[in-house]
A and B are shown apart, each in its own frame.
Chain A
Amino acid sequence: DAKTTQPPSMDCAEGRAANLPCNHSTISGNEYVYWYRQIHSQGPQYIIHGLKNNETNEMASLIITEDRKSSTLILPHATLRDTAVYYCIVRGSLHRGYGGSQGNLIFGKGTKLSVKP
């Protein structure tokens, strides 16, 4: 599976956009980019995923570069409750098996996002 590189920590002012980068230069053509987050003392929470096109949902936007070697998760208006560790994960397609041996997610250390008032 492709490995990901994320900055260990970032700060963001409340109400501003939080842009979290992720490098995945060894990603292969059938691997998706997923983002999860983990708020302190809670289990991870799915945010968004994409393959090639940019994606948007009620939580965030995902921008994937044309060469797919990096992506950015955007929280358009960060709140204090968005303070969490954000994990960028690459994972194989359903038809080729998942990222891990049978579908498990492979988490790195993520980016600790601190939203400040």
Chain B
Amino acid sequence: GAGVSQSPSNKVTEKGKDVELRCDPISGHTALYWYRQRLGQGLEFLIYFQGNSAPDKSGLPSDRFSAERTGESVSTLTIQRTQQEDSAVYLCASSLQREVEQFFGPGTRLTVL
């Protein structure tokens, strides 16, 4: 079946611009996670959605970062007024509510010039 998809695969933007990154989770997966991975580094947790519960935003690095999710489907991560330190691969993962395995998408590589 279809896995987690993300778009765009690559995004180059200028400092100060806003960007939107999209994640389509696996159908039926109620949990959705966003992570960030800087070059040569491990993954940093950003935000977590579980069904209709309030999202856990504890990993968002600043108020320039926000994310939305429509029900149990697509999620959008928005970064406002991008900075060069926002350059990274942004990864989305989804899982069934009571499953332990997270399925990751291929990521969006964001480059802020």
Residue of B nearest to A110 (CB): B42
Chain A positions 75 through 104: 1 when the CB is less than 8 Å from some CB of chain B, otherwise 0? 000000000000100010010000011111
Task: Tell me if A100 and B101 are in contact (CB < 8 A).
Answer: no
**B106 x A42 contact (CB < 8 A):** yes
Closest CB of chain A to B26's CB: distance in Å?
A: 13
A43 with B56, Cβ < 8 A, contacts A103-B48, A103-B50, A110-B42 known: no
- Nearest CB of chain A from residue B97's CB, rounded to whole Å: 9
Report Cα–Cα, A110/B59, bound state, in Å: 20
Nearest-Cβ distance from residue B83 to partner chain A, whole angstroms: 23
Interface residues in B24-52 by Cβ distance below 8 A to A read: 31, 33, 35, 41-43, 45, 48, 50
Q: Please tell me which stretch of A10-18, A20-28, A44-52 contacts chain B, meaning at least 4 of its Cβ atoms lie within 8 angstroms of it.
A: A44-52
Q: Looking at chain A's contact residues, is the secondary structure mostly helix, strand, loop, or mixed?
A: loop
Chain A residue at smallest Cβ distance from B4: A43
How many angstroms between the C-alpha atoms of A44 and B56 in the bound complex?
21
How many A residues are at the interface, by size bracket? Answer: 20 to 34
A106 within 8 A of B: yes
Q: How does the 8 Å CB contact mask read for B80-113 relative to A, with 1 for contact and 0 for none?
A: 0000000000010101001011111111000000
Counting from the closest, the 9 A-B pairs by CB-CB distance are A43-B104, A104-B45, A102-B56, A107-B42, A107-B43, A46-B101, A102-B48, A44-B104, A101-B58
